Structure 1
Amino acid sequence: MRTFTVTTRKKDQIIDITDTIENYLQEAEKAEGLCSIFVAHTTCALTTADLDPGTDQDLLDALRNLLPQLSYRHPHNPAHAPDHLLSSIIGPSLVVPYARKQLVLGTWQRIIVVELDGPRQRTLHMSTF
């Protein structure tokens, strides 16, 4: 397993980690298989996205508008509850196939960390099988 960190700089931010993952795939034992990526936090998530200019902010704006204004019961900090909920909706992990030690992604598809409570240092774990 490979562990690495990503540093975020804003409260809400999209970080493209596709190139980092592909660089680590060069060290994979097998030329093809599955790549599992997991972010070990409850206020950020992983997904894929098209990162044409502005689409990162479109995604963040859409996510923030998904949740209703509720009286959240999070004991630590109720204002922090939407960060946890959005992270759970998106999810903490991805499994992506790879071939010839390169991710098998669509033309515009990128692997992204969705930061929902930054700025922070985020720990990710990657395995191939």
Structure 2
Amino acid sequence: MPTISIETTERSDVLDMTEDVSRAIPDDADGIATVFARHTTAGVTVNEAESRLLEDLANALDGLVPDAGWAHDEIDNNADGHVRAMLVGPSVTVPVSDGQPDLGTWQSILFVECDGPRTRTIQVETVDG
């Protein structure tokens, strides 16, 4: 099963990984691809990859979920990252045509880091339909 490695440089970060996902899909695939973050403090979503919007998303998650006052912080001080990742979700499923994600005009597959900087592994599973 193809995997993608992503390096993040910030505690909260949003990165466009559409090209990486495209390379992980077999050239002859037609069906669906599920893109899954194998982490509890990171997520995947589909939206526009405009740089200010990516920054807005990271800032919105930071604003929605404060980084202090959580019981889990007694263990490893990253409860906010877990809660932010739960809001985003760990995966997306997208249609695939001719070996490429069949996305809308402004849609991109985005990786959302909630507890970086880290090296992350993303799994891409393609099912022909």
Return the TM-score normalized by structure 1: 0.89
Structure 1 match to 2:62: 64
Q: Match of 1:95, as an amino acid?
A: T
Q: Which whole-Å CA distance do the structure 1 matches of 2:56 and 2:66 have between them?
A: 18
Does the C-alpha gap of structure 1 residues 13 and 70 become closer, same or farther in structure 2, counting only changes over 3 Å?
A: closer
Show the 5 A alignment for 1:47-126: 47-67=45-65, 71-74=69-72, 75-77=74-76, 79-126=77-124
Q: Match of 1:17, as an amino acid?
A: M
**Structure 2 stretches of 5 or more lacking a match?**
none
Percent of pairs identical after alignment? 33
Structure 2 match to 1:2: 2
Q: Match of 2:75, as an amino acid?
A: H
Q: Which whole-Å CA distance do the structure 1 matches of 2:16 and 2:47 have between them?
A: 9
Q: Is the 8 A contact 2:67 2:80 kept in 1?
A: no
Q: Is the 8 A contact 2:4 2:24 kept in 1?
A: no
Give 3-state SS (helix, strand or coil) of 2:75's partner. Answer: coil
Give 3-state SS (helix, strand or coil) of 2:104's partner. Answer: coil
Q: Which whole-Å CA distance do the structure 2 matches of 1:20 and 1:68 have between them?
A: 31
Q: Which whole-Å CA distance do the structure 2 matches of 1:32 and 1:69 have between them?
A: 42
Return the TM-score normalized by structure 2: 0.89
**Structure 1 stretches of 5 or more lacking a match?**
none
Does the C-alpha gap of structure 1 residues 100 and 58 become closer, same or farther in structure 2, counting only changes over 3 Å?
A: same
Q: For the aligned residues, what is the CA RMSD?
A: 1.7
Give 3-state SS (helix, strand or coil) of 1:89's partner. Answer: helix
Q: Which whole-Å CA distance do the structure 2 matches of 1:23 and 1:69 have between them?
A: 35
Name the count of aligned residue pairs. Answer: 126
Give 3-state SS (helix, strand or coil) of 1:54's partner. Answer: helix
Structure 1 match to 2:23: 23
